[in-house]
Amino acid sequence: MTKVSMLYDMQACIRCFACSVQCGIENRARLSRDGRGGTERVVAEQRPELRYIFPVPGYRGTYPSARPVTELRHCMHCANAPCARRCPAAAIEVKPYGVVVIHEERCIGCRACLEACPFDVPRFNPRLGKTFKCFMCYDRIEAGLPPACVEACPAKALYFGSREEVLAEARRRAENYRRRLGEDFTVYGAEPVSEATGYLHWVTVGPSRILADYQLRPGASRPQIEAVDAVRTLGWVLFGVEAAGILGHFLYSLGREEKEV
């Protein structure tokens, strides 16, 4: 299967949050299908195992110039997926077509993925002892259907397709807004955001001047976690070099003993 991506158009979004409601309904249906749940008040309750895309309201700036900001929190499906690299239980899989999936049955609840994610996406449910996040409805994708949130969006602010199709549509929209509104628009995630994340399979079109207010910042990473990973990698390299040296010395000594005999 070819690489796929999602597009979120901040300019087209009307903040109806139909995507969030539909996400809860879709995941409730999955639980019901698997015999693990019944009726759920998905609008009133933000249970981590049911809603993977949700609004986070807040304010930016100081009074009296403060303005409301509503982030749409969701998994970015990083190409390099730092959460998958950090998971000690191998519970996080990067699908060949780019979608990042947490397998609930393998999750041990250590929350290493929460520490690794530069976008603060995964959410831990203490009742279940598991961590959850958007998996881009990979079961629907593999069945030839788009993610549920895309079907629910009345403003076409969400768009799904192959990576090439999504990037072409994102750049078309960004250029259209630039011409019409006279300001720069960015396709966030089309290019690598940082070495830790790589490019994103969930790209966002939005005004360049306010992207940082929505936590869509260049160089998004967790430096302290990356530093720990670098030290760990260096440690394994040094261990390998030392082990190779010991083995080489042993073989050399063994060869000398045979010659002496």
CATH number of the domain where residue 14 is located = 3.30.70.20
Q: How many domains does the chain have?
A: 2
Together in a domain, 204 and 244 = no
Together in a domain, 136 and 124 = yes
Q: Tokens 């799904």 belong to which residue? A: 160
Together in a domain, 244 and 151 = no
Total number of residues shown for the chain: 261
Which pLDDT belongs to residue 155?
95
Q: What string of pLDDT tens digits covers the 261 residues of the chain?
A: 899 999 999 999 999 999 998 998 898 888 777 776 655 555 555 677 788 998 888 888 888 888 888 888 899 999 999 999 999 999 999 999 999 999 999 999 999 999 999 999 999 999 889 999 999 999 999 999 999 999 999 999 999 999 999 999 999 999 999 999 999 999 999 999 998 899 999 999 999 999 988 889 888 886 655 555 545 544 545 556 676 667 766 666 666 655 555
Which pLDDT belongs to residue 166?
98
Q: Say which residues have a Cβ less than 8 Å from residue 143's Cβ, sequence separation at least 6.
A: none
Together in a domain, 209 and 244 = no
Which pLDDT belongs to residue 236?
43
Together in a domain, 200 and 250 = no
Distance CA 158, CA 118 (A): 22
Q: What is the dihedral of CA 220, 224, 230, 235, to 10 degrees?
A: -170
- The secondary structure element, H or E, covering residue 9 is strand 4-9
Q: Tell me the β-bridge partners of 61.
A: none
Together in a domain, 148 and 261 = no
At 240, list the tokens. 């390998």
Together in a domain, 155 and 241 = no
Residue 189 is which amino acid?
G
With vertex at residue 219, the alpha carbon angle to CA 70 and CA 159, rounded to the nearest 5 degrees, is 50
Q: Are 111 and 74 in contact (CB under 8 A)?
A: no
Together in a domain, 177 and 239 = no
Together in a domain, 125 and 249 = no
Together in a domain, 93 and 41 = yes
Q: Which domain holds residue 133?
A: 4-221
Together in a domain, 154 and 40 = yes
Together in a domain, 130 and 28 = yes
